[in-house]
Amino acid sequence: MNEFDADAPAPHPGLFPVPAEGERVTVMLAAFEGWNDAGEAASDALRYLRRAFGAQRVGSIDADDFYDFQFTRPTVRQTGSGRRRIKWPTTKISTARVDGHPVDLVFVQGTEPSYRWRAFTDELVEYLDDLEVDYLIVLGALLADVPHSRPIPVTATSENDEVRERLNLEASQYEGPTGIVGVFADAADRHGTPTVSVWAAVPHYVAQAPSPKAQLAILHRIEELLQIPLDTNELAEDAEAWERGVNELATEDPEVAAYIHQLEEAKDTADLPEASGESIAREFERYLKRRGKDNPPAGG
């Protein structure tokens, strides 16, 4: 039995209903470096998924049409043979089939374009059609007044009524400047593709990349949305090491330590009324899934 069996308990439903036998669901995930990606947590989460599922590149968007190379500069890299080559900023599209699950994944990864955003998103919407995408998940990360020593907050919103009801989500109430993640989500929603926006809150006082704890929090939310277990043990170790490193730096500056303590108290006070069973049940469910994966039944 797995998460997609009709008889399996599903206290936290996934993004889509259980497909009929023989059917598959295609989900696109998109992340962009730049304004949308504090600590590069969203981009790093997508890179992890691409590697984990062995994604193969199937397309790209021409960089010359959308980037200011004085702002988003090309880089020089050494090849395995020792030759130097120029790597141009671009947006790559890759795909992967998830073995053992009725899910196909499409990954869109790049850098926020400099101009012609509407034309850029029009090209992405064409991939929604060409690759027969059923759902879109856009990933982002923002700087926030949150303590590094507490679980990283991750919010998910959707403009699609069916998705909101299924996942118990709300529509976004944000008003203000937006990035390419918001523009693409809006274009996909108007196109008719059910879309979920997932954002992690990165402590603003440790905004530099990498941000493995925020990356891990995003991946945990993707686990729930896709109902696919991910092996994140190594990343969890990186997140713990990152947190210890920030703790050590904070002890060297009493003002920073006092500020972090203030954030911790505010977070703990805000969470106290909801220290209820949902978050505990969610963590326990994730633990049982991983335990089952690491200890398959005899003969399995």
DSSP code, position 297:
P
In order along its 300 residues, the chain shows pLDDT tens digits of: 333 333 433 445 799 998 888 899 999 999 999 999 999 999 999 999 999 999 999 999 988 889 888 888 888 988 878 888 888 888 999 999 999 999 999 999 999 999 999 999 999 999 999 999 999 999 999 999 999 999 999 999 999 999 999 999 999 998 999 999 999 999 999 999 999 999 999 999 999 999 999 999 999 999 999 999 999 999 999 999 999 999 998 888 888 889 898 898 888 887 755 444 555 555 556 556 655 655 555 444
Strand extents, DSSP E, the chain: 25-33, 56-61, 75-78, 84-87, 91-98, 103-111, 135-144, 154-158, 195-203
- What domains appear along the chain, each with residue ranges and CATH number? 25-233 (3.40.50.10900), 256-292 (no CATH)
Considering the entire predicted model, what is its pTM?
0.84
